[in-house]
Amino acid sequence: MAHGRITGWATHLPERILTNHDLAELVDTSDEWIRERSGIGARHVDGKVTEMSVEAGRDAMAMAGVDPSDVDLLLLATCTSDQQFPASASVVQNELGMSCGAIDLNAACSGFVYGLVTAMQFAEGGVETILVIGSDALSGITDWTDRGTCVLFGDGAGAVVIQRSASTPTLLGWDLMSDGSAASILTCEHGGKIFMNGKEVFRRAVLALEAAATNALERAGVTMDDITLVVPHQANIRIVDAALKRLGIPMDKAAMVLERTGNTSAASIPLAFVDALDKGRVEPGDLVLMVGFGAGMSSAAAVVRWDPPGA
């Protein structure tokens, strides 16, 4: 029986960069405060979900050697679709020249892991080639007068191609969760801007990361010591630090791009993962733990055995 595995990957960031110093001219803040309280130095802004998704998706397919006409399903994780409908996935599908089902999937910042886990189930069910994209343009729904939120968010996209070509499973364990009772602490109405109770999100995020990671590891039948690389959602370095401490994972196992991207929601995990791949931090056979949380409050984790093509 064949299993899904990742055969291509790519990311995209919009051109315009907003540094902490730029923000200090908009609101009463400072580079020092933002770095110390969040670990963020800069973020990319003015992105469009469909445009960023097309760039990342095209490059991931090129890397996998997959023709767009061969893709059987497009899953686009986003909470900032360019329009209410049609799904951004339909726009992306058309622009990339694909002929397949296309759906938006909204699990906020947990979206990419939700998409990856979902795609792997389709692969197990017999679907040959799936394009999974995590893409968000939070800059469009950020209140640029609110210093409590505007320093945190940015735009970006990351894509992976999943092909049903592995002889052994690559998704070893996963956990998807949502606690809708906490929906009001991080929310954005149609046409509105992000509202966030930062302290409460922080507190719950640490616990959600810990629970999701623990469940996924247990289901995979492995321990923290077996994990080579942790790819956490890039929201705040202090959240990652606190969660990894509780899990007993050293910080040097974490893939981090937060300093130059800010929180890019569904794009954050693929951005950090691809960066770690580019730096040669993962060898074939290594176990990678992806773990995220977000509005909902959603949370998601996946333990993946790295099995690139040709390994």
Q: Does 109 bind ligand COA (CB under 6 A)?
A: yes
Q: Which of 14, 39, 57, 294 binds ligand COA (CB under 6 A)?
A: 294
Amino acid letter for position 17: I
Alpha carbon of residue 245 to chain centroid? 21
Rule CB under 6 A: say whether 195 interacts with ligand COA: no
Q: Is 113 in the site for ligand COA (CB under 6 A)?
A: no
For tokens 């951004």, name the residue: 88
CA–CA dist 178, 104 (Å, integer): 18
Which residues in 33-92 contact ligand COA (CB under 6 A)? Answer: 33-34, 37-38
Between CA 223 and CA 279 the distance in angstroms is 24
- What would the x/- binding string for ligand COA be over residues 2 to 31, using CB under 6 A? ---------------------------x--
Instruction: Kindly write down the DSSP assignment for every residue of 243-277, as one continuous string.
Output: HHHHHT--GGGB---HHHH-B-GGGHHHHHHHHHH
Q: According to CB under 6 A, which one of 22, 31, 90, 147 is a site residue for ligand COA? A: 147
Does 201 engage in binding with ligand COA (CB under 6 A)?
A: yes
Closer Cβ to ligand COA, 68 or 296, answer by number: 296
Alpha helices (H) along 39-87: 49-64
* Residues carrying an active site annotation: 109, 233, 263
Helix (H, G, I), strand (E, B) or coil at 74: strand
Within residues 202-231, the interface with ligand COA by CB under 6 A covers: 202, 205
* Contact criterion met (CB below 8 Å) for 110 and 299: yes
Which residue in 181, 125, 161 sits closest to 8, CA to CA? 161
Contacting range for ligand COA; rule: CB under 6 A; set: 32-40, 73-81, 158-166, 247-255: 32-40
Omega before 61 within 30 of 0, i.e. cis: no
What is the rounded CA–CA span in Å between residue 62 and residue 164? 17
Stretch that binds ligand COA, among 69-77, 211-219, 232-240, 303-311 (CB under 6 A): 232-240
Q: Within positions 244 to 273, which residues make up the interface with ligand COA, using CB under 6 A? A: 263
Block residue for tokens 């050697």: 65
Rank residues 151 and 282 by Cβ distance to ligand COA and give the closer one: 151
Provide the binding-site residues for ligand COA, judged by CB under 6 A: 29, 33-34, 37-38, 109, 147-148, 151-152, 186, 196, 198-199, 201-202, 205, 235-236, 239, 263, 294
